[in-house]
Amino acid sequence: MYAELLFRQEKYKALNTHLSYYLNNKELPNQKSVYLLFLESQLKSLARESNPTPAQMLATKLEDSLQQYPTKEKIIILRALAYYYTDTDALKKTLNVALEGLELALKDDDSASQGYFFRKIADAYNYLNEKDKAIYYAKKAVAAYEQTQDGLFTSKAYWSLGNILLEIKKPKNALIYLDKALLYFKKVNMQKGLTFAQYSIANIEYLQANYDKALTLAKENIELARSAGVYDMQLASLILLADIYIKLDSLDKANEVNDEVFLKLDKFSRSIYKAEFLSKRYELKRRLNYTDDAFEAIEQKLLYTNKHYEATSESNIKTLQVKFEVKEKEDKIQQLEYAKDISELQAKEEHQQKIIWRLSAAIAFILVIVSLFLFSRQVRQRQKYYEISLTDDLTNCPNRRGVKREAEAKLGEGKMTIAIVDLDYFKQINDQFGHDVGDMVLIAFAKAAKQILCCDDKFGRYGGEEWLFALNTIDELAIRDIFNRLAISFTEQCNSMKDFPKGAKITFSVGASVSSPLKNTLDILIKHADTLLYKAKENGRNQVVID
């Protein structure tokens, strides 16, 4: 906790001293969670260094060790990797580890980590220019963090959401969240956070044509970011300053600022930032008739745009290149022309054409085969990842996303019942007997449900110990019969488990919402079922409430 506090307070020298002292303790690796928390802080610290090798080595070490740890420790590692991948512009990797971490954090009911992964997913989608997804996950991050007491990460989530809203031209909505973030950063005097929030607010003033106010804020932020060592915000604020000068028709001042940014271009953390700046530099230099500078800018923009696409593309399939060496052939043709041996020249040319045609045909065939192979493999991989994304890895039944998809499909076929099932006092099982037994109980419930449900009925793990059922009936007696049989089968499955405590009995509560003209969408049915489940719990649990 102290290491994390030092990082938040930007006391990096003290942090390194603290990390060095504890990581040299030979007993620390035996305390796995604590050890990994120290490594998480160390990776954040190393990512700030100019030499990328130590951070890269530590990230690789954590990647290689991931599968050997249980859920809580995996979450710590995935948090660290999400931070590192974001910092090194590996956006696809950021997205992959954040999605994996989110699944585990939801399973472990870890609100703080949920908020962290939601924010990383939102940031990644924002850089990938998928704004709808970015806003969706940014709002999820805000909601998750608001359930915690972590003011810093809540404020960072406010800033992320505000910044995305700003990018899609909703400055008034953005300002609500940015003001919240700024208030907290000022309260704790966090320089890095202040630079981010103040830059976005200056940008809003610029977009609303309040150029004098934007100019003052941008200049203040340049100095603040410079003193805090936040290069991205220093350069972004300089670019904003140049934009303001252009609006004020002070092109010489804008050009002077633009040149300053160009000299510090390597300080930008992301290729896309560099490409966007170079696009603005091209426009300004063309406007000032500095043609050489303009074309140099556009060439570099293409270079950094390509780097961004390489960092974000799903599969970096490199172009297959085939080269023909023709110099020797040309020399021989010239010799034959000089000798005026037309017949030999024609024979040689025909022979060369046949060779070239055969080579071209062979190359084309190889390219077609390679393309088909790559396409087929990509299709298989996508299908595999799609199935994984809809499946709960513990119980091997549909996860929240998967069962909602199946329920939505069934609702389109006619009347049905949506039920939410919650295992009674499940937290006590975890607390008394351990999470391993808790996991076995969840697996037993899934097996019992698979045994008693008809093929037309669907179910899946809705989250934690909650399950969602989509039943192909609206008859109350039939619904009660299904859950009575499920209770019997569940008890049998639990009793057959080797490590299940003798004498222990686990029950469940059910809220079942029957579709009707007034309850004809999945969201409404789920909300109603959740209300009925709450009634079942209030009435003493171990019962089914149907409406």
Q: Report, as an integer, the average pLDDT of 293-303.
A: 86
pTM of the model: 0.45
The predicted pLDDT at position 348 comes to 60
Average pLDDT, rounded, for the chain:
82
Contacts of 465 (CB under 8 A, 6+ apart): 422, 423, 426, 442
Task: Write the single-letter amino acid at 330.
Answer: E
Question: Does any domain span residue 335?
Answer: yes
231 lies in the same domain as 368: no
Tens digits of residue pLDDT in 430-469: 888 888 889 999 999 999 999 999 888 999 999 889 999 9
The number of folded domains in the chain is: 4
Cβ atoms of residues 34 and 28 within 8 Å: yes
Question: Does any domain span residue 496?
Answer: yes
440 lies in the same domain as 348: no
Tens digits of residue pLDDT in 343-377: 555 566 666 677 767 776 777 777 777 667 666 66
The predicted pLDDT at position 330 comes to 39
> What is the full DSSP assignment across 400-415?
HHHHHHHHHHHHTTS-
113: pLDDT strictly greater than 80: yes
409: pLDDT strictly greater than 60: yes
CATH code of residue 475: 3.30.70.270
407 lies in the same domain as 535: yes
419 lies in the same domain as 299: no
Question: Does any domain span residue 438?
Answer: yes
In the chain, % of residues over pLDDT 90: 28
Reduced to 3 states (helix: H, G, I; strand: E, B; else coil), residue 468 is strand
Question: Does any domain span residue 353?
Answer: yes
231 lies in the same domain as 337: no
342 lies in the same domain as 440: no
The predicted pLDDT at position 47 comes to 77
Question: Does any domain span residue 508?
Answer: yes
Top-confidence range, 120-124, 285-289, 331-335, 354-358: 285-289
| Distance between CA atoms of residues 355 and 306, nearest Å | 36
345 lies in the same domain as 461: no
Tens digits of residue pLDDT in 59-80: 898 888 888 888 988 888 998 8
Reduced to 3 states (helix: H, G, I; strand: E, B; else coil), residue 256 is helix
Other C-beta atoms closer than 10 Å to the C-beta of 325 total: 6
489 lies in the same domain as 427: yes
Reduced to 3 states (helix: H, G, I; strand: E, B; else coil), residue 422 is strand
465 lies in the same domain as 363: no
Q: Residue 483: which domain range? A: 400-546
Give me the helices (H) in 229-250, please: 231-247
288 lies in the same domain as 247: no
Locus of tokens 């469940």: 508
Question: Does any domain span residue 293?
Answer: yes
Between residues 146 and 461, the one the model is more confident about: 461
Give me the helices (H) in 390-498, please: 400-411, 426-433, 435-452, 476-495
> Two tokens at 480?
């009660």
Question: Does any domain span residue 213?
Answer: yes
Q: How many residues does the chain have?
A: 547
224 lies in the same domain as 201: yes
CATH code of residue 218: 1.25.40.10
Question: Does any domain span residue 87?
Answer: no
427 lies in the same domain as 510: yes
| Distance between CA atoms of residues 511 and 530, nearest Å | 6
